[in-house]
Copies of this chain bind each other. A is one copy, B any other.
Amino acid sequence: MAETRWLDDEEQHAWRSYLRMNKLLEAALARELQADSQLSLPDFEVLVHLTDVPDARLRVSALARSLQWEKSRLSHQIARMARRGLVTREECPDDGRGAFVVVTPDGRRAIEEAAPPHVETVRQLFFDVLTDDDVKALTVLSERVLDRLDTHTP
């Protein structure tokens, strides 16, 4: 292995700022969402994807694909959400192994109440302090990193 290419001061600073922004931004969004709607960010994501579809019902595997989550994670999440009455599981007549996840009326009410203030928070904490150029630059940058991640690990 060649000499380690350590980070210089500027890189170090960039890296720390970026990591810190991620953590604190996510924490703030989670806190607000919880306070406004008793939902966690994972709850919110699941409900968004579920209600995005006719009947608000999806096969577990389809929902997992749509969220890009692994099935085990989703299974645990569904279990917790079902316990709180946000979704229910239903058997799948076509495939004895399969299952549907369905949004309950409570779940629908929750997401409809949660979405507007959540988007507003995202705006206030993020988009409102960025210029259009910032947003473009960040998008491009993110996609370059994502490409790299893709080629790096298949």
Q: Which of B6, B21, B31, B146 is A142 in contact with, Cβ under 8 Å?
A: B21
Q: Does A11 contact B (CB under 8 A)?
A: yes
With A and B bound together, what is the CA distance between A124 and B143 in angstroms?
A: 15
Measured CB to CB, the closest approach of chain B to A31, in angstroms, equals 8
Measured CB to CB, the closest approach of chain B to A19, in angstroms, equals 9
A119 touching B5, Cβ below 8 Å: yes
Q: Which of the 9-residue segments A57-65, A74-82, A131-139 touches chain B? A: A131-139
A145 touching B122, Cβ below 8 Å: no
- Interface residues in A, total, Cβ within 8 A: 52
- Assembly stoichiometry (copies): 2
B28 touching A152, Cβ below 8 Å: yes
Which single residue of chain B is at the shortest CB-CB distance from A10? Answer: B135
| Residues in chain B near residue A71, CB distance under 8 A | none
B21 touching A153, Cβ below 8 Å: no
| Residues in chain B near residue A134, CB distance under 8 A | 137, 141
B-contacting residues of A (Cβ < 8 Å)? Answer: 1, 4-7, 10-11, 13-15, 17-18, 20-22, 24-26, 28, 31, 68, 115-117, 119-120, 122-130, 134-139, 141-149, 152-153
Sample of 20 more A-B contacts, CB < 8 Å, known A15-B126, A130-B141: A1-B117, A4-B116, A5-B123, A7-B123, A10-B135, A14-B135, A14-B136, A14-B139, A14-B142, A17-B138, A21-B142, A21-B146, A21-B149, A28-B152, A28-B153, A124-B152, A125-B148, A126-B145, A134-B141, A138-B138
